[in-house]
Amino acid sequence: MSEKPLSAQTNQNTVQITFPDQTQLALQVFSDAIIRVCPIDALPAASYAVVAKPQPTQFTATVKNGVAAINTAALHVKVYPDHHMDVFDQNDRELIMDYRGQRQPLNRDLAADETSLLEEEGHAGHEEIDATAALTLTKQLDPDEAFYGLGDKTGFMNKRGYEYENWNTDDPAPQMENFTRLYKSIPVLYGLRQGRPYGLFFDNPYRSHVDLGKESPAYYSYSVVHGPLNYYIIGGHRLADVVANYAHLTGTVPLPQRWTLGYQHSRYGYQDAPEMIQIADGFRQHDLPCDALYFDIDYMHGYRVFTWDPGRYPDPKKLIAQLHEKGFKAVTIIDPGVKKDPGYTVYDDGKKHKVFVKTPAGKNYVNRVWPGRTVYPDFGKPKTRQWWGQCHLALTKIGVDGIWNDMNEPASFDGPIPDDTVFSDNGKKSTHAKMHNLYGHNMSHATYDALKEQTGRRPFVITRAAYAGTQRYATVWTGDNHSLWAHLQMMIPQLCNHSMSGFSFAGTDLGGFGSDTTPELLTRWIEAGLFSPLFRNHSALGTRRQEPWLFGEPTLSIYRKYLKLRYRFIPYLYDLFALAQSAGKPVMRPLVYDFDEDRQVYDIDDEYLIGDALLAAPVVTKGKTSRLVYLPAGQWIDFWTGKVIPGEQEIRAAAPLDTLPLYGRVGTMIPWGPAHQFLTDEPDQTMTFKVFGDTASYDHYQDDGYDFAYQKGEFNQYHVTFAQGKPAVTLTTAGYPAGLYPEITVAAGDQTFALQLENGKYQLIDKN
């Protein structure tokens, strides 16, 4: 039988390739810059991550000399008869090239019997997950290629040279760069190949593995234990465009309530109602701004979700009202595990409604978590999500303001949940193997919908486990770090890679969760984390307490200085969140995001940008009182001294214990809000705009900060300019009249200008 040549058939946005061996592949054009690749029969499969639909797009699909070429305005893809594929940019320069050689597995120089020898001393053997992988992609690696993304993975900003797994895991050991997996699976990867950016999003929730040039400098690879091989090629002019394209593909972060950007304080575990009040009062007495206190697992009655321990918390409604009175929001933890305890309403009711995960034999599956023997809600079922959502009424009715979801990898103390345990996939019967990485995602989805319906406010949900797309429902924290300098250092790459991966709203436990913090470490942490989108101090049972007043001076004063500073920056952060929602731009950014043409910034792990106006270069090393700071192109203004410093050079910055080296980019402007001890639903009466340099313009966004009225046009937009020594403020939208600032100040260098609202226009009234 003679082979037929490769052929390509176009049907609307999909090109169907038939190879000479008669197997088929689909390339689905989503837009100029996004092409999905998958088997034909996987095309209709629903995705938990992707929300974008293929857009009408101009493209061509041709076959020449047996090679198919699919060209959009931004991407050129070639598919060869031997199944290889290469991707080029619009100028035909290489982006993603199939690797055509043999793989060269690492030589670990280890005989089989030596593995058990090592295990005897407690060493973990290396798991070769590729060995069980069903499907693998292997791509050529350029000597210069750098990688970013992948969500919460440990290690450095540039992921090159490491391997990672996507299998949501709760491992309390101190996380280091040799950890391959953590709590989340966000399989989006960005590459810079000779400065040319691209993205790859592997949308398959099964356990997968990414090797970014660890095995060999000649290639990088992705593999997954179960099909389909379903992925998206993402292009873009600059790295920032690729990031925005990915954000639109999987959905952007919804605008949060304004108070969620304030300082938050937590500990596992404050003991009882009097202690919660004492902590709240401690913040106010010490003049420390704070917006939220957390209730960790011990508020529950024997760890039964949606209950309160009657001894420690006899009247939670009254306690929460007292906290509200003092200006604190209350956030309660909710784990997924439901105690198997006949007589306990949540368990009985769930059993009746058949909402729990099942064994293949059809019994409720039982493992063990904090409450003891526990069943697991099957969040892949719409009915379960609905039921779980209703359970939250017990909390929202008494005034709880936010829900913190933990242990939703899901964790299980009595060994791993078997792969064939029956979980639902959007109502259809599926397995743990497929739904594991989606468990936190679907739980967050249920919680988000419930809070929205029950409170009418923008839901504040925090989750530890997540999949790509979970950013639409929840903010995340990076789980159990330790009070270690290495973990302070890791915060920056972790949060920056999170935001590149669609999760702009992320944070680490400030001060460190496990182990005992030190005054110096806590101080540097509050400085380094000043712009961390989620700004929460949290510590573990049995570790040194982390209330700032327990450390005396100078820790307390420095801590206070940074909490107060944080509140000044909240209008800027809020503007950045508005941009994250509308344009998919991250709030916290690695330098490479804005300066991808500067090879010097590819590996910077200890500096970050906040929007495009600020650069923070915290001290993250013990005992240092100065540090080297690389300033990228442009000119920069030292935030503390006002000194102008030319970019594209490394400077030595003074950084005594109370100083976070911070720089404003010349030619930009930021809003600078009034001081607050905590945020309310009341709009600010005044706003200052700080100009870096002598010419800048800025668009400022304002709404009520808590509900969805902005979606009906109830928001204000201010266009602020400063040029030739003169400020001007134009109201470009005024859909939220109650919020309009009666007064605005523009500060440029040592000059300040006052403007007042008169007849819907801002008039300059004063100069000094």
Neighbours of 166 (CB within 10 A): 30
Q: How far apart are CA 25 and CA 84, in angstroms?
A: 11
φ/ψ of residue 445, rounded to 5: -60, -50
Q: CA-to-CA distance for 112 and 116, rounded, in angstroms? A: 8
DSSP, collapsed to helix, strand or coil, labels residue 197 as strand
| Cα–Cα distance, 139 to 158 (Å, whole number) | 18
Tell me the Ramachandran region of residue 54: left when phi exceeds 0, alpha when psi lies from -120 to 50, beta otherwise: beta
Nearest approach, Cβ of residue 378 and ligand MIG (Å):
22
Residue among 242 and 333 whose Cβ is closer to ligand MIG? 333
Two tokens, residue 749: 């260098």
Backbone angles phi, psi at 672, to 5 degrees: -135, 105
- With vertex at residue 343, the alpha carbon angle to CA 340 and CA 344, rounded to the nearest 5 degrees, is 60
Residue holding tokens 């050689």? 101
Residue type, 81: P
- Nearest approach, Cβ of residue 479 and ligand MIG (Å): 5
Sheet holding 67-71, edge to edge: 60-64, 67-71, 75-79, 85-89, 94-97
Shortest separation between residue 282's beta carbon and ligand MIG, angstroms: 20
Provide, rounded to whole angstroms, the least separation between the CB of residue 372 and ligand MIG. Answer: 15
Q: How far is the CB of 541 from ligand MIG (least distance, A)?
A: 7
What residues line the site for ligand MIG (CB under 6 A)?
Answer: 268, 296-297, 333, 406, 464, 479-480, 513, 538
- Rounded Cα–Cα distance for residues 646 and 637 (Å): 9
Q: Please, which residue, 400 or 619, has the CB nearer to ligand MIG?
A: 400
In whole angstroms, the minimum distance from the beta carbon of 464 to ligand MIG comes to 6
Amino acid at 373: R
Q: Provide, rounded to whole angstroms, the least separation between the CB of residue 157 and ligand MIG.
A: 24
Q: Which is nearer to ligand MIG, 305 or 558 (CB)?
A: 305
The smaller minimum CB distance to ligand MIG, of residues 190 and 268, is found at 268
CA–CA–CA angle 702, 705, 708 (5° rounding): 100
Residue nearest ligand MIG by beta-carbon distance = 268
Which tokens go with 674?
A: 């009034």
State which residue, 39 or 372, has the beta carbon closest to ligand MIG: 372
Other C-beta atoms lying within 10 Å of the C-beta of residue 286: 16
Which C-beta is closer to ligand MIG: that of 297 or that of 609? 297
Q: Which is nearer to ligand MIG, 467 or 513 (CB)?
A: 513
Alpha-carbon separation of residue 717 from 322, 572, 732 (angstroms): 35, 13, 5
> Is the preceding omega at residue 410 within 30 degrees of 0, hence cis?
yes
Pick 542 or 737: Cβ nearer ligand MIG: 542
Q: Active-site positions? A: 406, 409, 480
Q: Which of 167, 625, 676 is nearest to 416 (CA)?
A: 167
Rounded to the nearest whole angstrom, what is the least distance from the CB of residue 539 to ligand MIG in the complex? 8
Burial of 575 (0-12, 13-18, 19+ CB in 10 A): buried
- How many angstroms separate the first and last alpha carbons of the chain? 89
CB of 94 to ligand MIG, least distance (A): 42
Task: Please return the burial class of 322, using the count of CB atoms within 10 Å of its CB with bins 0-12, 13-18 and 19+.
Answer: middle
How far apart, in Å, are the Cα atoms of 170 and each of 126, 139, 508, 510, 679? 18, 31, 15, 19, 34
Nearest approach in angstroms of CB 268 to ligand MIG is 3
Q: Would you say 435 and 377 are in contact if contact means Cβ atoms under 8 Å apart? A: no
DSSP letter (8 states) at residue 442: H
Smallest CA-to-CA distance from 219 within 284, 164, 154, 139 is with 139
**Distance in angstroms (rounded) separating the CA atoms of residues 599 and 552:** 43
In residues, how long is the chain?
A: 768
Q: Tell me the residue type at 403.
A: I
Closer to ligand MIG by CB, 31 or 537: give it. Answer: 537
> Toward ligand MIG, which CB reaches closer, 503 or 736?
503
Count other C-beta atoms under 10 Å from residue 99's C-beta. 17
Burial of 384 (0-12, 13-18, 19+ CB in 10 A): buried
Residues 6 or more apart from 519 whose CB is under 8 A from it? 551, 552, 555
In angstroms, give the least distance from the CB of 369 to ligand MIG. 9
Structure tokens at 559: 């801590």
Q: How many CB atoms lie within 10 A of CB 53?
A: 8
Query: Least distance in Å: CB of 194 to ligand MIG?
Result: 40
> Are 9 and 16 a contacting pair, CB within 8 Å?
yes
CA atoms within 13 A on the CB side of 255: 22
Nearer to ligand MIG, 406 or 596 (CB): 406
Q: Is the Cβ of residue 339 or residue 358 nearer to ligand MIG in the bound state? A: 339
Residue found under tokens 């055509």: 100
In angstroms, the CA 573 to CA 594 distance is 17
Whether omega for the bond prior to residue 554 falls within 30 degrees of 0, making it cis, is: yes
**Minimum CB distance to ligand MIG, residue 513 (Å):** 6
Nearer to ligand MIG, 71 or 537 (CB): 537
